[in-house]
Amino acid sequence: MTMKHEVFTNSKHICLLRRSKNLYFVIAAILFSSFGQAQQLPFYSQYVMNDFILNPAIAGSKKYNPVLLSFRSQWTGFNDAPMTQTASMHGSFGESIGAGAILFNDITGPITRSGIQAAYAYHLKTGEFSKLSFGIGGLLYQHVLDKSAITLDQPDDMAVLGEKERKIMADALFGLNFTREGLHVGLSVPQIFQTKLDFSESENDQKMSKLVRHYFLTAGYKFQLNADFYLDPSLLVKAVTGAPPQVDVNVKVHYTELLWGGVSYRHNDAVVILLGVHKNNFLVGYSYDATLSSIRKYSTGTHEILIGLNFPKDMKKSKASY
């Protein structure tokens, strides 16, 4: 197989060409150029079990304080395919205040993004069974471009020749979340300020690009089927400038507090199988993404593992509600 990506930045033609089972990215240009403003944030399938990674307003809203680790290997079968590792935790301070943090490391071809995101949330009770939450967060991370991993059609192009370039970037996000009994509706906006990224040291040849503002809309409702089972359908709409909106439709079935399973459909991208177990506050989840695009001919799919602990807010309790 031969894969070829062409990107234009400041009228310069950067062409990345590799062969066989290598995945060829000029991710710096694809993700951060004005030509390629699209989805910049990592993909997750286990957000259905860790919605805090999408919305800072979730911080401290659970009946427990979760500490979760996730490991995602995308498009198995390709070298240099995306890999993401995430650690998150959040909890409440009293009835109205929540806080949390996320550590992440996202690798896509020659691009590595690693950093921390901190969140603060305020939960306002709007009724006996309803609550409106407001969340804000700050993001600080290191962006690394490994130029030695880029193959050019013009090898003497000084615009990209070199070793690794590191940039420290900061941005912010905010979110809203409304819950009423089994209903939840949320909106979050990461990368509010659309921080500029400059990988050029030359004043005469500046390749300015930026983080792009994203919009995540979530909604769902839990249906109690009987004493042991409940159904949890949900929806995620992702929108970003320069790309069509993407919709995820999810359906999970829970058996008491012990087991869950489900399926997700990501429009024009993947069908996802979800499985998990929760025992004595410890949980393990697994998801498999079956790719629907043409890349499925060369990839065996995407795997994601979630492990964690749900600490009771009242530590005297031996088991958290789930």
- DSSP of 238-280, one letter per residue? EEETTEEEEEEEEEEEEETTTEEEEEEEETTTEEEEEEEEEET
- pLDDT average, residue stretch 133-145: 94
pLDDT band at 201 (very low <50, low <70, confident <90, very high): low
Task: Provide the residue type at 44 as one letter.
Answer: Y
Mean pLDDT of the chain: 83
Q: Is the pLDDT of residue 234 over 90?
A: yes
CB burial of 115-139 (b: ≥16 within 10 Å; e: otherwise) equals: bebebbbebeeeeeeebbbebbbeb
CB burial of 18-52 (b: ≥16 within 10 Å; e: otherwise) equals: beeebbbbbbbbbbbbbebbeebbbbbbbbbbbbb
184 within 8 A of 178, measured Cβ to Cβ = yes
Give CA 95 to chain center in angstroms. 28
pLDDT band at 156 (very low <50, low <70, confident <90, very high): low
Round to whole Å and give the CA distance between 73 and 50: 17
3-state secondary structure of 297: helix
Scanning the structure block, which residue is given the tokens 């300020």? 193
Smallest Cα–Cα separation from 98: which of 115, 122, 74, 82? Answer: 122
- pLDDT average, residue stretch 231-240: 96
Burial of 294 (0-12, 13-18, 19+ CB in 10 A): exposed
3-state secondary structure of 68: strand
Q: Token pair for residue 49?
A: 């079990």
Scanning the structure block, which residue is given the tokens 């009994």? 181
- Domains annotated on the chain, with CATH: 2-312 (2.40.160.40)
| pLDDT of the residue at 248 | 97
- pLDDT average, residue stretch 102-116: 92
| pLDDT of the residue at 199 | 60
Which is more confident, 312 or 11? 312
- pLDDT average, residue stretch 34-46: 68
Which is more confident, 204 or 254? 254
Lowest mean pLDDT among 29-38, 118-127, 144-153: 29-38
Q: Is the pLDDT of residue 114 over 80?
A: yes
| Per-position DSSP letters for 124-163, written without gaps between them | EE-SSSEEEEEEEEEEEEEEEEEGGG---SSTT-TTT-SS
Share of the chain above pLDDT 70, in %: 78
